Structure 1
Amino acid sequence: MRHKDDFCRSFLTWNLYDGADFTPIVTATPAQLPERVTEVFRQFLATNFPVRVKKIACEIAAKKPDFIGLQEAELWQLVIPNFRIVTYDFVQLLLTELEEIGLEYMIAVENRNFSAELPDSNGNLVRFLDRDAILVRKRYEHKIVDKQEANYKANLTVQIAGQPFVILRGWSSVDVELDENIFRMINTHLEPNAPNIQVEQAEELLAGPANTELPVIITGDLNSNADGSGTPTYGIFINAGFHDVWKEVGIGPGFTCCQAPDLLNAMSGLNSRIDFILFKNGWEPIEADLVGDKQDSRTSTGLWPSDHAGVSASLVLNCDCCQDF
């Protein structure tokens, strides 16, 4: 007879923070753009992802999740003519840190979203690629039988130096076989600055990969407050039959957003809950916790590990509900 814990799986979702506030670029005139690019890139350097990632890896190691949904898993590059390209790959840096701790994860799937290449005021180019990714812990009993990724049809368009720029966002998913039972994990990051577009993205997700009878987990930064203030997106997922792990088994308010853009605020600024692990079709939540939200989560230089806290959870898959798949 199989023990209930055999079907217990752990998940973690975390927005890693791209490292800078892009407002100066969005509001720049063409003449101002190179200086604003330099300003933003310097803030990215100051928020120091190579240092932050060590704390992020330690927080993840404390939970040892089977599956991780990452948002703002960015790729930054400084292109210095006639010299070299300096690359900051958030996912690879995190995988390396986890491996040094003794935890092996692999990229199961990622979705590539908006990208840009802009000149700075020092004669260089700054490249940026926004990504979301699902990481899977390397364990023999997990078999990925399908993976998908796509960008949303509904996306926000802004003007950068007088030119239209589409802030492309998307989702990715994996179907995982565990002892002849299959479940689906979906990861996404919804638009924060246009409520109507955010709702359209949520509806695309619900009509697409989330429209299944498989047991489903959704991890992500939905940018919609769980208390019902702000956008209606959270309620749309709940009305579609999804349950919120934190609401079911979390203790306390579970705030996940947001620290200051420079990550140096003395006291935590987390005051809203917009990052979620949602589930339906056969999952039973066991426990939930936050990561990266405490003072001892900070780096030795005082940086919070991200402007968001992450959410971790353990759930049991009730195989009576998935035996037909």
Structure 2
Amino acid sequence: MDEKFKDCDCEGDSLSSADDLNDQKRKDTISFMTWNLFIGADLSPLFSASILEEVPRRVTEVYRQFLATNFPERVKKIAQQIELYTPDVIGLQEAACWQLRQLTVPEMPAVTFDYIKLLIKELENRGLIYEVSACNHNISAQLRSSQGNFIRLLDRDTILIRKESGLKIVKRREGNFKTNDTTKLGGLNFELLRGWSAVDISNDKHKFRVITTHLETGSPVINLVQGNELLEGPANTSLPIIMLGDLNVTRDGQSPSAAYSHFLHAGFQDVWLVAGQGQGLTCCQDYDLLNAFSTLSRRMDCILYKNGWKPLSVKTFGTELQDRTPIAQWLSDHAGVIAHMEV
């Protein structure tokens, strides 16, 4: 792992040897959740800096946005939503880790906002034990701000499993896509790295695979190529399979993306099309999360399945005014999706 992000490493592998769960009741109905937690800021000001000298000011602007979206407050309500549904398996996208290090006072500890650790801790406070089963690292950057600090950002996707679900990890894999979009940062090329996590899971009766990913949003062509990499890689299995993610299902609220269409042509089915009611819109609230009424207008997040699953129910959540934080911020710029499946 990159040394500068050692404080943002994912933790929690005990489910792979959870023999103490063997005496728990195994069930054929399993609940799955997917949620893009929102990285916390609009990163486009960084990429509009045409020369390196502009970057520190833009870094300060973006970090101030992140602080304003207040993940320590959002995570309390995010955990409340998870407690409401208590899913067995959760796929999270934009599970970021932000750090601030003071250049002028190097002995001062870093200020770290690790979405995964903060969420797991908040769930523990509610009596729910979730553990990281897989976690992939995507975009990472360390940039100087205009205020004498280093700001570090790491984007991740992760799969969490509820310890009392009785599910055990058989195998885990994480990877990055070979094809990624690029942009300019201070006039230099910058790769918008994305990836996926996959876990083979057993509940004694059955073995199945879960994948979570966040496909490219800025380029339809790269979105398609990344989808095909999944089909040729971790999604190429005869096991029952669940795909959780921000797949950018539709680009204009109506027509499906090419990658999504390829998933369906490859035999995947969309839980929402089978068991959902309404449009299932999941994106997007404003970047500051303060829009007075929900502005969800596209379906981008979904749960796909293949090889032996039967959908029982599916719904979106985090879409109601009362779901917001005490300062009237939405919990994320995306709604989440929860489904109950029978294998």
Equivalent position of 2:325 in the other structure: 299
Secondary structure of the residue aligned to 1:188 is: strand
Matches of 1:231 and 1:216, distance apart in 2: 21
Whether 2:206 is the aligned partner of 1:181: answer yes
Pairs within 5 Å for 1:149-298: 149-225=174-250, 229=255, 231-298=257-324
How far apart, CA to CA, are the structure 1 residues paired with 2:196 and 2:84? Answer: 27
Look up the match of 2:33.
12
| 8 Å CA contact retained: 2:174, 2:196 | yes
Structure 1 residue 180 displacement after superposition: 4.0
The structure-2 alpha-carbon separation of the partners of 1:214 and 1:230, relative to structure 1 and needing over 3 Å to count, comes to: closer
8 Å Cα contact 1:76/1:127 also seen in 2: yes
The amino acid of 1:165's aligned partner reads F
Structure 1 residue 142: Cα displacement: 1.2
Tell me if structure 2 keeps the 8 A contact 1:259–1:270: yes
1:311-322 superposed matches below 5 A: 311-317=337-343
Which contiguous aligned blocks of 4+ residues in structure 1 show a shift greater than 6 angstroms?
none
Answer whether contact 2:240 2:308 (CA < 8 A) is retained: yes
In 2, are the aligned partners of 1:111 and 1:150 still within 8 Å (CA)? yes
Match of 1:101 in 2: 126
Matched, 1:31 2:53: yes
| 2:16 corresponds to | none
Q: CA deviation at 1:118?
A: 0.5
The equivalent of 2:79 in structure 1 is 57
CA distance in 1 between counterparts of 2:256 and 2:217 reads: 10
CA distance in 2, matches of 1:255, 1:121: 38
Aligned residue runs from structure 1 range 37-76, under 5 A: 37-76=59-98
Deviation at 1:140, TM superposition (A): 6.2
**Which secondary structure state, in structure 2, belongs to the residue aligned with residue 266 of structure 1?**
coil
- Deviation string 1:112-157 (CA, Å, 9 cap, x unpaired) is 0110001111010100000000000002621111000110000011
The answer on whether the counterparts of 2:225 and 2:259 sit within 8 Å (CA) in structure 1 is no
The CA deviation string for residues 271-322 of structure 1, in whole angstroms up to 9 with x for no partner, is 11010100010000000111211111100001100000000000000xxxxx
Q: Which amino acid aligns with 2:301?
A: D
Q: Is the 8 A contact 2:268 2:304 kept in 1?
A: yes
The 1:300–1:230 alpha-carbon spacing in structure 2 relative to 1, beyond 3 Å, is same
How does the TM-score come out when normalised to structure 2?
Answer: 0.89
1:247 Cα shift? 1.1
Q: CA deviation at 1:224?
A: 2.7
Q: Name the residue aligned to 2:23.
A: none
| 1:178 CA drift (Å) | 1.4
What is the count of residue pairs matched by the alignment? 313
Q: Secondary structure at the match of 1:313?
A: strand
Give secondary structure in 1 for the equivalent of 2:329. Answer: coil
Output the CA distance in 1 between the equivalents of 2:268 and 2:157. Answer: 21
| Unpaired segments ≥5 residues, structure 2 | 1-25
Q: Judge which range, 221-230 or 211-220, deviates more.
A: 221-230
SS at match of 2:53: coil
What amino acid is aligned across from residue 9 of structure 1 in structure 2? I
The one-letter code of the counterpart of 1:239 is H
In 2, are the aligned partners of 1:228 and 1:235 still within 8 Å (CA)?
no
The Cα RMSD (Å) is 1.2
| Whole-Å separation in 1 of the counterparts to 2:166 and 2:66 | 39
Q: Which residue of 2 aligns with 1:110?
A: 135
Q: CA deviation at 1:229?
A: 2.1
**1:126 equivalent in structure 2:** 151
Distance in 1 between residues matched to 2:67 and 2:54, nearest whole Å: 20
Question: Helix, strand or coil for the counterpart of 2:249?
Answer: coil
Which residue type is aligned with residue 223 of structure 2?
Answer: Q
Q: Secondary structure at the match of 1:223?
A: coil
Q: Distance in 2 between matches of 1:19 and 1:128?
A: 11
